Chain A
Amino acid sequence: TQLLEQSPQFLSIQEGENLTVYCNSSSVFSSLQWYRQEPGEGPVLLVTVVTGGEVKKLKRLTFQFGDARKDSSLHITAAQPGDTGLYLCAGVLNAGGTSYGKLTFGQGTILTVHP
């Protein structure tokens, strides 16, 4: 059983379309991150959200942290071929004690944007 359920696993869209990727859990996270990974490279941090209900924007990307800090979404407006990649949500569990920076990852969403 995945602690962080990410959906969809695959997304193939045309340039200009909008899309949303979801990351859901039954557990509470003290912080949640979104990373993007390109082939042959390591994940690159896009954003960190820490407050329930928080919304952050990064150009055409909008990230939201659920009010209860159990879920998050990534919305891309007017997708471009350069957005193609593997998107990963990851979080640090709010375990009461010290969770350190132990990241729990979702399964990832492979996004392909066709010109």
Chain B
Amino acid sequence: DTAVSQTPKYLVTQMGNDKSIKCEQNLGHDTMYWYKQDSKKFLKIMFSYNNKELIINETVPNRFSPKSPDKAHLNLHINSLELGDSAVYFCASSQAVTSGSQYFGAGTRLSVL
């Protein structure tokens, strides 16, 4: 059983389209995150939810909108995709809201053409 699973694994789309990435964790954690990894492998946090409540919202274009229907799920919707959005997006979860000990999904590689 995969602890943190995200779909799809690969996403290829045209500029201007809207797309969503889904994430689910079966670890019973209260806190979930979205990270973006650029082409140089640098990871940067985008959002975090604790028990369905948004607690971290970094400087991310408002074209990106996270949504947490319940504490086991955190989805990411991206409107009007741009070339610069191409990256690998990782979902993660942690047991405690202040914990740096996080469990990551396998990533979604987004390519905007």
Say if the beta carbon of A86 comes within 8 Å of chain B: yes
Report B70 CB to chain A, min CB distance, Å: 19
- B107 — which chain A residues lie within 8 A by C-beta? 40-42
* Bound form: Cα–Cα A99–B50 in Å: 13
The B87-113 residues at the A interface (CB cut-off 8 A) are 90, 92, 94, 96-107
A42 to B97, Cβ gap below 8 A? no
Q: B110 CB to closest chain A CB, in angstroms? A: 14
| In-complex Cβ contact of A105 among B42, B98, B99, B105 (8 A) | B42
Bound: A6/B96 CA distance, A: 26
Instruction: Pick the interface stretch among A11-19, A43-51, A57-65.
Output: A43-51
B56 at the interface (CB under 8 A from A): yes
- B1 → A minimal CB distance (Å): 16
Contact residues in A for B97 (Cβ distance below 8 Å): 98, 100-101
Chain A residue with Cβ nearest B33:
A101
Closest CB in chain B relative to A103 CB, distance in Å: 5
0 or 1 for each of B6-36: is its CB under 8 Å from A? (1 = yes): 0000000000000000000000000101010
CB of B75 within 8 Å of the partner chain: no
- Taking a contact as CB atoms under 8 Å apart, the answer to whether B90 and A42 are in contact is yes
Report the nearest B residue to A92, measured CB to CB: B100
Residues of chain A lying within 8 A (CB to CB) of residue B56:
100, 102
Query: Which residues of chain A come closer than 8 Å to B106, judged between CB atoms?
Result: 40-42
Q: Measured between alpha carbons, how far is A111 from B54 in the docked complex, in Å?
A: 36
Whether B101 contacts A45 by the Cβ 8 Å rule is: yes
B residues near A107, Cβ cutoff 8 Å: 40-42
A90 within 8 A of B: yes
Closest CB in chain A relative to B93 CB, distance in Å: 10
Among B40, B43, B98, point to the contact of A92 (Cβ < 8 A): B98
Asked if A79 is an interface residue, CB under 8 A from chain B, the answer is no
Q: Is A42 within 8 A of B104, CB to CB?
A: yes
Report chain A residues within 8 Å CB of B55: 100
Chain A residues contacting B90 (CB-CB under 8 Å) are: 42-43
Other CB < 8 Å A-B pairs besides A42-B90, A101-B33, A101-B100, 4 of them? A42-B104, A42-B105, A45-B103, A108-B41
